[in-house]
Structure 1
Amino acid sequence: MIVTRDLTKRYGRLTAVDGVHLDVREGDRYGLLGPNGSGKTTLVRMLLGLVFATRGEIEVLGRPVPRRVGEVLPQIGAMVEGPGAYPHLSGRANLRLFDAAGPGGSRRDRRRRVDEVLERVGLAGVDRRPVRAYSLGMRQRLGLASALLRRPRLLVLDEPTNGLDPRGIREVRDLLTELNANGTTVLLSSHLLAEIDAFCTRVGVMDRGRLVLQEDLATLRRPTGRVVVGSPEPERVVALLDGRVEGRDGHTLTVRHADPAALNAELVAAGIPVTEFAPERRSLEQVVLDMTTTSADRVEAA
């Protein structure tokens, strides 16, 4: 669905995107992660032909971008850097204008499409208030509605849950999951780990313009070869395992062991009570922190 090769964007001496090889496959729920200023939005804008690359190649839906971007845009729904809308018009009027700019269809069909997407994003009861009177969450929902107007094959969303409360975030996640199950590939750019962790199946991590990791989320969550053991008698665990305990926090110990079942049998045979026992898995937060440097918007004291 999306392939880039050595994609680079420079602004004078600043390299915003540096040699990125992105691979978003059909059916993916792909999460693009990274600190603020890592190059995520610039990368997304290049994929849509909104910014021209300094070097490299982009292919979206089998077509080179930006040279043939006009052929693929009708099949893409996108929201980048917040929703765009005419602030003096209502949400419904904005959607009618956006829909009229696309390929044909009767007025009745256009009205039906607008009503359908407003219902799907939770704005079915929208009134004649102008968009400038909307809350940030309502604006985000309106932006998502405009991205869904043409039932796209590919959704490209930049921070789509910004401004939404927890229930709204869950509703958007459920909607995207449904769309993906029906054949829509989703590329979701965000700096919110929980949002990516709950929805995506593959992740790419950006850091200072580079794509430093691209992997299936299930692979990143594989057991680390350690086991987390909780016991009211941690000293006995340390004595029994003879150097295999790599960390301890109160009654919780981290044990290096290749066979959790054998470790459990060893503890039981020794008569050591166990209150917690689970293979250790790396969290997405740990992965991202290991792969990235300090956030670009951090300011240190001199």
Structure 2
Amino acid sequence: MIRTLGLTKRFGRITAVDAVDLDVREGDVYGFLGANGSGKTTTVRMLLGLVLATSGRMEVLGEQMPGAGRRVLPQVGALVEGPAAYPHLSGRRNLALFDAMGRGTERRTRRARVAEALERVGLDGVDDRPVHAYSLGMRQRLGLAGALLQGPRLLVLDEPTNGLDPQGIHEIRTLLLELNAAGTTVFLSSHLLAEIEQLCTRVGVLDRGRLVVQDQLSALQGLTGRVEVHTPDVARVRQLLNGVVEHADGERLLVRDADPAALNARLVGAGVRVRELVPERRRLEDVVLAATSASADRFGSDRGADGHRAHGEAEVLER
């Protein structure tokens, strides 16, 4: 659905996106994770033809971009850098205008399409107040409704839960999963690790413009070779498993063992009260921190002593 090769964007002397090779497959919920200023929005804008790449190649829906934009973009729903709308018009009127500019839309069914899009994002009960009176969360929902209006094959969303309360975040997450289950591929750009971890099946991590991780979430969260054991009999376990208990925190122990079932049988057989025993998996947070640290060691840091990017880079990247 999205494939890039050496995708690069420079702003003068600043390299905002550095030789990125994206691989987004049909049916993915792809999480494009990175800190603010890492180059995520610049990458998304290139994919949609809003910014021209300095070098590299990119395909969207199997066609070269930006050349095939007229054929490709009508099949892509996008929300980038916040929703665009005429502030003096209502959300309903904005969506009707947006639909009128869409590909081959029928006027007689426009009202129904707009009503359905508003309902899907929880704005069906909103009156005809102008968009300038909307809260940030309402404007974000309206932007998502616009992205869904014409039944896209691919959704490209940049921070779609920005400004939403926890209930709203849950509703949008549920909606995106439903759309994906119905066949829509979702490309979700976010700086929120928890959002990516709960929603996505495949993850790419961008750090200082470089793609430092890209894999299935299940592979990134693979087994560590340790087992987490919860028991009140800590001293007994330490004595029984001398040398392989690597960490203890209250009644929680981390034991180096590749066979949880055999370990459980051994502990229970020795009279240990095992309250819980589960294989430990890598946390996405640890994977990201390790990858970004390795990237900094390899390429050097472009941050100043205060932790900000030199030469105003953070401001440039996310515009």
* TM-score with structure 1 setting the length: 0.95
Residue 300 to residue 221, structure 1, CA distance change in 2 (3 Å): closer
**Which residue of structure 1 aligns with residue 73 of structure 2?**
73
Preserved CA contact (<8 Å) 2:100 2:107: no
Residue 278 to residue 105, structure 1, CA distance change in 2 (3 Å): closer
Residue 249 to residue 298, structure 1, CA distance change in 2 (3 Å): farther
1:288 counterpart = 2:288: yes
**Which residue of structure 2 aligns with residue 170 of structure 1?**
170
Preserved CA contact (<8 Å) 1:158 1:188: yes
**3-state DSSP of counterpart to 2:286:** helix
Aligned partners of 1:33 and 1:104: how far apart in 2? 35
**Which residue of structure 1 aligns with residue 250 of structure 2?**
250
User: What is the root-mean-square deviation of aligned Cα atoms in Å?
Assistant: 1.9
Give the residue type in structure 1 aligned to 2:62. G
**3-state DSSP of counterpart to 2:195:** helix
1:299 counterpart = 2:309: no
Seq. identity, %:
68
Preserved CA contact (<8 Å) 2:99 2:105: no
Preserved CA contact (<8 Å) 1:203 1:217: yes
Report the alpha carbon displacement of residue 251 of structure 1 after superposing the two structures with TM. 2.2
**Which residue of structure 2 aligns with residue 262 of structure 1?**
262
Please list the CA deviations of residues 66-106 of structure 1 after superposition, one character each: whole Å capped at 9, or x if unmatched.
Answer: 12212101000000011111111111111111111112343
Aligned partners of 1:47 and 1:177: how far apart in 2? 23
**Which residue of structure 2 aligns with residue 196 of structure 1?**
196
Give the residue type in structure 2 aligned to 1:266. R
Aligned partners of 2:85 and 2:243: how far apart in 1? 62
Give the residue type in structure 2 aligned to 1:246. E
Report the alpha carbon displacement of residue 124 of structure 1 after superposing the two structures with TM. 0.9
Residue 231 to residue 88, structure 1, CA distance change in 2 (3 Å): same
Report the alpha carbon displacement of residue 298 of structure 1 after superposing the two structures with TM. 9.4
**Which residue of structure 1 aligns with residue 15 of structure 2?**
15
Aligned partners of 1:223 and 1:208: how far apart in 2? 28
Give the residue type in structure 2 aligned to 1:282. R
Give the residue type in structure 2 aligned to 1:299. D
**3-state DSSP of counterpart to 1:99:** helix
**Which residue of structure 1 aligns with residue 311 of structure 2?**
none
Report the alpha carbon displacement of residue 273 of structure 1 after superposing the two structures with TM. 2.2
Aligned partners of 1:237 and 1:182: how far apart in 2? 49
Give the residue type in structure 2 aligned to 1:162. N
**3-state DSSP of counterpart to 1:30:** strand
Aligned length: 301
State how 1:142-153 maps to structure 2 within 5 Å.
Answer: 142-153=142-153
Residue 265 to residue 94, structure 1, CA distance change in 2 (3 Å): same
Please list the CA deviations of residues 250-300 of structure 1 after superposition, one character each: whole Å capped at 9, or x if unmatched.
Answer: 221111101111111221222222223111011222222222259979935
1:240 counterpart = 2:240: yes
Aligned partners of 1:230 and 1:121: how far apart in 2? 42
Give the residue type in structure 2 aligned to 1:97. L
Report the alpha carbon displacement of residue 186 of structure 1 after superposing the two structures with TM. 0.5
Aligned partners of 2:104 and 2:27: how far apart in 1? 27
Aligned partners of 1:160 and 1:178: how far apart in 2? 16
**Which residue of structure 1 aligns with residue 119 of structure 2?**
119
State how 1:41-120 maps to structure 2 within 5 Å.
Answer: 41-120=41-120
Preserved CA contact (<8 Å) 1:34 1:288: no
Aligned partners of 1:243 and 1:13: how far apart in 2? 53
Report the alpha carbon displacement of residue 230 of structure 1 after superposing the two structures with TM. 1.9
Give the residue type in structure 1 aligned to 2:27. G
Residue 105 to residue 209, structure 1, CA distance change in 2 (3 Å): closer
Aligned partners of 1:181 and 1:106: how far apart in 2? 27
**3-state DSSP of counterpart to 2:37:** coil
Give the residue type in structure 2 aligned to 1:25. R
Residue 89 to residue 272, structure 1, CA distance change in 2 (3 Å): same
Please list the CA deviations of residues 182-211 of structure 1 after superposition, one character each: whole Å capped at 9, or x if unmatched.
Answer: 111100111112211221111111111111
Aligned partners of 1:52 and 1:288: how far apart in 2? 29
* TM-score with structure 2 setting the length: 0.90
Give the residue type in structure 2 aligned to 1:21. D
